[in-house]
Amino acid sequence: MNPTAGADRASAYREEVTTGLSEYFPDSRIELLHTESAEDPALFGSQIQSELILCLSGDGTIHGVLQGLMRRPRTERPALCVLPLGSGNDIARTFSIPTSPTRALPALARGYLQAADVGSCIPDHQDEVYFLQTLSFGMDAAIALKTIELRKHTRNREAVLYARAAVDAIVHELHTNHFHYVMDGQERRDDLLIMAIQNGPTYGGGFRVAPQARIDDGRLNLCMATRIGKLRALYYLSRMKNGTHEHLASFQTHEIRHLIVETDKQVPTQIDGEPIRARHYEISVRQNAIDFLRPA
């Protein structure tokens, strides 16, 4: 449990969740651990000896646990799941988990384990970082990072925060960045407004940037957009919310397994909502890397 998740609402769910776990998983031994520092989720993921790690948290805590899980051999990785309590909950959306923790419990009690892919990113001169949902560059990364800042000062849901941050960026920071990239061996150079690499279909609390993305298909979905005007950008934003943007002019979409990205300067970059800084990235997919508990 991340006690600060959901604008500090996690602690309020503690008794209800622990009672529900005992009811729906009566033959299991349950141990409740609290995160007390930013390093704890990765530590738990690397060391906990169990069949299942269940996160009462938002996407950030799951991202941390994933880093620890991926340090272990595949056969020694506990299964992962979430009782969603963040403001975005995109990972829960990917696995069709109800966004109320108490509604999620009975659904998961009748659930099954699904082998899920994990994205891998190696920034220059840094350790490998893993993502379950999203890695993005440019304007959409700037919006995601601005959303994190807005979240500290408001209790709005992530989709509202993302929309506010996006409109602000469109009005004040609508510019492209130059990318040199190699996509499954095909070399390209483009000036792009958005470059999003998705393992799951959504980011920003439900914006369906890659509606065709599947968590278990052995591929990542790449969505890119070139320069557009402010009014068209606002229109495109509304289309991205429901995933009907892919056939619009200025957008490109691809299914990929390997991608190398280079930029001539550091551009805003986020990985599952966490900032990352580099100018060279090697991105790939680890097929069936973890098991995730999802509702039947």
Q: Are residues 127 and 271 in the same domain?
A: yes
More confident residue, 13 or 172: 13
Residue 295 lies in a domain: no
Residue 101 lies in a domain: yes
Q: Which two tokens stand for residue 191?
A: 């000036």
Q: Are residues 132 and 279 in the same domain?
A: yes
Q: Are residues 248 and 151 in the same domain?
A: yes
Q: Which two tokens stand for residue 3?
A: 């006690």
**How far is Cα 266 from Cα 46, in angstroms, rounded to an integer?**
31
Give the model's pLDDT for residue 7.
62
Model confidence at 15, pLDDT cuts 50, 70, 90, reads confident
- Assess whether pLDDT exceeds 70 at residue 160: yes
**How far is Cα 48 from Cα 102, in angstroms, rounded to an integer?**
24
Give the model's pLDDT for residue 157.
59
* Domain coverage including residue 133: 122-286
More confident residue, 285 or 209: 285
pLDDT tens, position by position, 95-111: 999 988 889 999 999 99
Taking residue 74's Cβ as centre, other Cβ atoms within 10 Å add up to 13
Q: What angle do CA 78, 288, 104 make, to 5 degrees?
A: 55
pLDDT tens, position by position, 214-272: 999 999 999 998 877 777 777 777 777 777 788 777 888 999 999 999 999 999 999 99
Phi, psi of 145 (to 5 degrees): -70, -35
Q: Are residues 229 and 109 in the same domain?
A: no
Q: Are 57 and 65 in contact (CB under 8 A)?
A: no
**How far is Cα 64 from Cα 218, in angstroms, rounded to an integer?**
22
Q: Which two tokens stand for residue 68?
A: 């620890």
Q: Which residues of 140-174 are buried (b: 16+ CB within 10 A; e: fewer)?
A: bbbbbbbbbebbeeeebbbbebbbbbbeebbeeee
Model confidence at 148, pLDDT cuts 50, 70, 90, reads low
How crowded is the C-beta side of 140, counted as CA atoms within 13 Å?
30
pLDDT tens, position by position, 173-211: 778 899 999 999 999 999 998 899 999 999 877 788 899
Residue closest to 13 by CA, chosen among 105, 118, 142: 105
Model confidence at 29, pLDDT cuts 50, 70, 90, reads very high
- Assess whether pLDDT exceeds 80 at residue 19: yes
- Assess whether pLDDT exceeds 70 at residue 154: no
- Assess whether pLDDT exceeds 90 at residue 290: yes
Q: Are residues 253 and 180 in the same domain?
A: yes
**How far is Cα 180 from Cα 280, in angstroms, rounded to an integer?**
10
Contacts of 172 (CB under 8 A, 6+ apart): none
Q: Which two tokens stand for residue 276?
A: 């990352």
Q: Number of folded domains in the chain?
A: 2
User: In whole angstroms, how far apart are CA 156 and each of 10, 61, 152?
Assistant: 16, 19, 10
pLDDT tens, position by position, 45-83: 999 999 999 999 888 899 999 999 999 999 999 999 999
Give the model's pLDDT for residue 293.
97
Give the model's pLDDT for residue 8.
66
Pairing mode, strands 194-198 and 134-138: antiparallel
Give the model's pLDDT for residue 89.
86
Q: Are residues 98 and 138 in the same domain?
A: no
Q: Are residues 137 and 178 in the same domain?
A: yes
Residue that terminates a domain, selected from 65, 95, 117: 117
Q: Are residues 177 and 274 in the same domain?
A: yes
The β-bridge partners of 81 are 54
What number is the average pLDDT over the span 113-135? 96
User: In whole angstroms, how far apart are CA 83 and each of 103, 116, 190, 212?
Assistant: 9, 17, 40, 24
CA torsion, points 105, 106, 108, 111, in degrees to nearest 10?
170
**How far is Cα 25 from Cα 23, in angstroms, rounded to an integer?**
6
